[in-house]
Structure 1
Amino acid sequence: MVLMQIKLFNLGLQKTAKSKGRLQVIEKEREFLEHV
Structure 2
Amino acid sequence: MFALTEKRHISMQASRHSTRHVEDESEKETKRVCKFL
- The verdict on a shared fold, with TM-score over 0.5 as the criterion, is yes
Alignment RMSD, CA only? 0.4
Q: What are the ranges of 5 or more consecutive residues in structure 2 without an aligned counterpart?
A: 23-37
Partner of 1:14: 15
**Percent of aligned positions with the same letter in both sequences?**
5
Higher relative contact order (CA 8 A, sep 6+): 1
Aligned residues: 21
Q: What are the ranges of 5 or more consecutive residues in structure 1 without an aligned counterpart?
A: 22-36
**Structure 1 residue ranges (4+ consecutive) displaced by more than 4 angstroms after TM superposition:** none
Q: TM-score, normalised by structure 2?
A: 0.55
Q: TM-score, normalised by structure 1?
A: 0.56
- More helix per residue: 1 or 2? 2
